[in-house]
Structure 1
Amino acid sequence: MLAGAMVAATTAAAVPVSFAVAGSPFAVTAHRLEAKGVTQFASFREETSGKRHAVAAVGLEEAALYGLCQSAVARTPLGTATLRIRSGDHWAVRASSLALDLSSIRGDMRFHEVEMGRDAATLRGGARGTAGTYGQQADALTIRHLEIDAWSLTAGVFTLGDATMDVRAGEHPCA
């Protein structure tokens, strides 16, 4: 991770992001995300090897995801395996104090009460960045057909109803 001051400056209110990221991102898909207290700014995350990755640091005070699938592909000396976690179709995944480090995000987005070009150190809500860094915030955000590639996710509370987890040999990312 970056120096302690940088870590403290780029976290959601109650959730510290103080770990080195894995050497490969993971994928998250959902039919729909609904969030309140949204912030975003550019930052970096570091692996234990010292390799740095540019990320969009995103903070969400409250979030609900519908039709969630999360997958991580691991390349090991014995071969490739995929870990997948899915929520039930009839349950919303609920999260509070959610902090994500994203390499990309895709979907149909609708922001409510958005402010773009704000100094990241003055963001209110989800997370704050370093002074002088470009930031944006919104009171609410809805994304349909969500696809995310992420380096990390932390949350104060993360609740999945009717969830399943499986590990399979080979590459089987969420689609």
Structure 2
Amino acid sequence: MKFPSLTKSHAGRVTLAAVPVGIVACVLLGGVAQGAVPVSFAVSGSQFQIGASQLDGTGFSQYAGIATDSEGGEHTVAIANIKDATLTDLCQSVISETPLGTVGVLIKAGGGDNPATATDLQIGMTGLKGDATFGNIRIGVDASTVQTEAKGSAGDFAQDSDTISITNLQQTAWSTQAAVFTLNGMSLELTDGSQGCF
């Protein structure tokens, strides 16, 4: 599967050298525990936080790109693809300004021995912290030749690896999409915006 419109590689915009990448989850408000999520959408005007005590994935690639919002604004991102992933103690938070004031949404899932899972993930992120380990990593490959179904533009810098593992993940992102995202033990809470994942 090649994701056409969420994020796109853009030659010459940005060069990223060996940036480890984790996973992001989106605010899923209906039928969220199991099932497919959209694979094509414009990003909102808000970034969001993702935290997890442990991420493990297979089939990873990363390259530079652009996420476009509904008003045509472009946001430079690192595009990451992971074929299969598990996330333990997943947390996602987003803050929005509404006519009634600041409102936050806090989602948690994947606690204990029942982590959240995802397949065919693609994310557009702007920041990451954590302790990362890559298996069979290739750094500096052409983005059009990465070993994932989703690929970047010819000539762009990229990296890929067979496996990825990140402990104490803290990530900020504009977008995420997946073929299937399963949030085991999910809880959703509206807040005043003072609570985040980190």
TM score, norm. by length of structure 1? 0.89
The separation in 2 between residues aligned to 1:8 and 1:135, in whole angstroms, is 18
Cα offsets for 1:65-88 (capped at 9, x unmatched): 001000111111211111111014
Query: Is 1:46 aligned with 2:68?
Result: yes
**Structure 2 match to 1:123:** 146
Q: 1:104 to 1:119 in 2, by over 3 A?
A: same
Corresponding letter in the other structure for 1:45: A
**Structure 2 match to 1:18:** 40
SS at match of 2:144: helix
- Deviation (angstroms), 1:171: 2.8
Aligned equivalent of 1:7, options 5, 28, 51 = 5
Corresponding letter in the other structure for 1:76: T
**Structure 2 match to 1:33:** 55
- Point out where structure 1 has 5 or more consecutive residues left out of the alignment: none
After the TM superposition, which segments of 4 or more aligned residues of structure 1 sit over 2 Å from their partners?
Answer: 5-11, 15-18
The separation in 2 between residues aligned to 1:86 and 1:162, in whole angstroms, is 8
Q: For the Cα contact (< 8 Å) 1:79–1:170, is it kept in 2?
A: no
Identity of aligned residues (%): 35
Aligned equivalent of 2:105, options 76, 83, 94 = 83
- Deviation (angstroms), 1:16: 7.2
- Point out where structure 2 has 5 or more consecutive residues left out of the alignment: 10-36
Corresponding letter in the other structure for 1:156: A
- Deviation (angstroms), 1:107: 0.3
**Structure 2 match to 1:73:** 95
**Structure 2 match to 1:97:** 120
Q: 1:16 to 1:132 in 2, by over 3 A?
A: farther
Cα offsets for 1:25-74 (capped at 9, x unmatched): 11000001000000000001111222211000000000000010001111
Q: For the Cα contact (< 8 Å) 1:103–1:150, is it kept in 2?
A: yes
- Deviation (angstroms), 1:7: 3.0
SS at match of 2:154: coil
- Deviation (angstroms), 1:6: 6.4
The separation in 2 between residues aligned to 1:164 and 1:66, in whole angstroms, is 14
Q: For the Cα contact (< 8 Å) 1:38–1:126, is it kept in 2?
A: no
Q: CA RMSD in A?
A: 2.2
- Deviation (angstroms), 1:105: 1.1
SS at match of 1:7: coil
TM score, norm. by length of structure 2? 0.79
Corresponding letter in the other structure for 2:191: R
SS at match of 2:125: strand
